[in-house]
A and B are shown apart, each in its own frame.
Chain A
């Protein structure tokens, strides 16, 4: 939806988002972030730098954490996407244990980086479900997510304590 003079194509794409199937018409040069935020109204995915340098817009796409601000929406065709809204559905669902851990351990301050941070953490832990992870691993895994409030320590602890708890449950 635009009134600008740029000529662009309309494309139809299908994808799965938070376990629901979507087929949508998109602009050929639309960003995936804009599709998620502006067209689907999922405002939990944030824009902060717009250049793939801060991780606020992180989503999980086909199991991998990616910055939705630098991905063309067209590439979502056939993809499976998880946004923060997919981590615990609606207001009545139980929180994902990582969300709970962030909350309890004080890993959240202003909350602007939080959705992206949670999704980076989730993608990382999902990929390493069979192995023990160290604090150093966690630091590296979230090093593409900038947080200006917390100094990261409580975020690392929140992820680490969930990783330990999860290991204990296995």
Chain B
């Protein structure tokens, strides 16, 4: 296919305002009379609230409103489990838990007032480790949650015990993945402004505008129509920016004071009370035939929910079973416990549990290959799913270029040559490692009522198209992708297309940016809207210019008729058409609700319209005297269905690889007695430019042309990270023979492994 707009390097369409510093994020928004919100957070991991005295705080000049558990409604609500209250009256459950919120006319007055709220606590015994929290005598966080278990997930398909009994090889290992922080550069925040008709206008740094609206309506006991959510530029999300307590607190303060309230986390707060990655302990047992054919997988996972439920249970279930559709398993069993602890509530982070499980599974396969002299590339080809395959959980694999990804990565990295390299002299050793991954592009069970999207594409009398979608660009370039899809589908040039910022008063409903669903589901809705618009445009052109609709073609902003007739610019035609329509624009409407299935009680059901795949190969160097690991080169080959924008795809991969590398090589949220020891960027070590591979991150794309994605495209956001921890861990093992099963892989662990 020849595309006018697709498959190229298209710089993001909102890049200009970003390089000039004119792009506005929530912390940059200010309205007259605006107050500054500040949250008072618990200094104890678990404590009963005996008394909250705000009298001194109220006397601070400039304070306009203070809310505590004593003057807000105590109804329960929540994302998955109703364990949220606006502010608690009874007790606090983690170091950082919200106790009160203040609105004042300066940041300083708000901070001072918050510090003057006097709280009497009765400290309670606390528990931080999910496994310990399940013990009979562990401190209970919620009275109705026995053994602190928020949710249990179970699946058993086939007969795992039988299969393991018959297996030639049985491998068993325990892996641990730690708690890490998304570290979006723009901290979480909201600006809430009282609107007309007693509505609230909420400017949110969010990846889920429409879902936030539903949840906040529940929290505020309002009709969701009375909340207008606007999403300005968002400085990264990576899973953190879902429904968030401070947004609700800002809204409550606005209602109380009748004034606009802006509440933005400082970095320390964002660390202490953000929604970091769900830490997991993963037991894996695999049974294989001698040739490496996978026969059975048995898994048990204990996952840390933190002190209240955000999305950890869904993440745990994903860890339990999503990878079962990467390989052709016949027998799988998995149990996952999402367990309350007195720690920061955990939630989504790029990879959504699948990343945690990939570390375990792909490390396990590497060890199995090493111990049994099997080829780590071949074992993945042997077991990997193929086009047309229906997985053990009923996932219908349409497009799949997994095998091609493996082949390309092997070839580009010179895998077999590098594997042959003889013993290396000196203290620094090189190694190479492989891991593959699957993911979804949309996840049917995430939002129970449906997983779909809708869009409007408006063509103005000037011939410019505006895409309206509820799906959120959070810095990844989604709006550019939507514009490209609309441009190509209508036959415009992308320079004449833009995507409007999400505003729930105007934009259609969109679940949001998660589950790598933006391009496939959101993009497909945009595609449908654009096709619908094109049909209307052709009909109107035919009517106004007295032509046959069938002979009209539109390409690159021009309308072509049969024969040698001079093409007509869309802008010119639209002007004429608009005169006949009272000056209006044409609006195309598109809906995409994929034919996916909410899994049944046996977890059977095709959850996503498309499944992306990837193969990553990492080359590292390990200093055996210091334990220091350096990335040398990295090859990432992705089955993206179709390349819509090469530049932003590469950007997602390079960002995902470094995010994964940061995780595996050192990022770690360290708790001491429930309090975070390193809530800052010098002790929480994110990768800097000096940590990128000495050589390069090479990205390659396989175009498997998915039948459901727009122009065949599938998602990229999360698969770019999923295989990274294991690929690097496997490379480290190849270099020095040390197998680290608990993240992060620190120099200290390497040296311990080397027995130094």
A residues near B, CB below 8 A? 1-6, 37, 42-51, 53-54, 56, 83-85, 87-88, 91, 95, 99-100, 102-104, 106, 108-115, 118, 138-140, 142-156
19 A-B pairs besides A148-B184, A150-B655 with CB distance below 8 A are A49-B267, A95-B20, A102-B15, A103-B15, A106-B650, A108-B18, A109-B477, A110-B185, A110-B235, A110-B474, A111-B19, A111-B475, A139-B692, A142-B689, A145-B689, A148-B183, A151-B653, A151-B656, A155-B689
B651 lies within 8 A of chain A by Cβ: yes
Contact B267 A3 (CB under 8 A): no
Contact A139 B655 (CB under 8 A): no
Contact B682 A53 (CB under 8 A): yes
A109-B655, A142-B689 as given contacts; A4 in contact with B235, CB under 8 Å:
no
Q: Write the nearest CB–CB distance from A94 to chain B, whole angstroms.
A: 11
Which of B14, B105, B187, B236 is close to A3, meaning CB atoms less than 8 Å apart?
A: B105
Contact A110 B24 (CB under 8 A): no
B residues less than 8 Å from A118 (CB atoms): 19
Residues of chain B at interface, number, CB under 8 A: 65
B186 lies within 8 A of chain A by Cβ: yes
* Nearest chain A residue, comparing its CB with the CB of B654: A151
B330 lies within 8 A of chain A by Cβ: no
Contact A2 B106 (CB under 8 A): yes
B234 lies within 8 A of chain A by Cβ: yes
Contact B697 A146 (CB under 8 A): no
Cβ proximity bits B170-195 to A, threshold 8 Å, 1 near / 0 not: 00000000000011111100000000
Rounded to whole angstroms, the CA-CA distance of A104 and B12 in the bound complex is: 9
Contact B681 A104 (CB under 8 A): no
Contact A104 B690 (CB under 8 A): no
Rounded to whole angstroms, the CA-CA distance of A88 and B17 in the bound complex is: 12
* Nearest chain A residue, comparing its CB with the CB of B110: A4
Rounded to whole angstroms, the CA-CA distance of A56 and B25 in the bound complex is: 13
B residues less than 8 Å from A148 (CB atoms): 182-185, 236, 238, 655, 659, 686
Contact A48 B21 (CB under 8 A): no
Which of A3, A54, A102 is close to B185, meaning CB atoms less than 8 Å apart?
A: A54
Rounded to whole angstroms, the CA-CA distance of A88 and B19 in the bound complex is: 10
Which of B17, B475, B680 is close to A110, meaning CB atoms less than 8 Å apart?
A: B475
B266 lies within 8 A of chain A by Cβ: yes
The residues in B between 1 and 34 inclusive whose CB is less than 8 angstroms from any CB of A are 9, 11-12, 14-25, 27-28
Q: Write the nearest CB–CB distance from A59 to chain B, whole angstroms.
A: 11
Specify which of A6, A144, A145, A152 lies most central, judged by the most chain B CB atoms within 10 Å of its CB: A152
Q: Write the nearest CB–CB distance from A88 to chain B, whole angstroms.
A: 6
A4-B60, A56-B185, A143-B690 as given contacts; A106 in contact with B11, CB under 8 Å:
yes
Rounded to whole angstroms, the CA-CA distance of A87 and B19 in the bound complex is: 9
Rounded to whole angstroms, the CA-CA distance of A84 and B16 in the bound complex is: 12
Contact A146 B20 (CB under 8 A): no
Q: Write the nearest CB–CB distance from B664 to chain A, whole angstroms.
A: 14
B376 lies within 8 A of chain A by Cβ: no
Q: Write the nearest CB–CB distance from A140 to chain B, whole angstroms.
A: 6
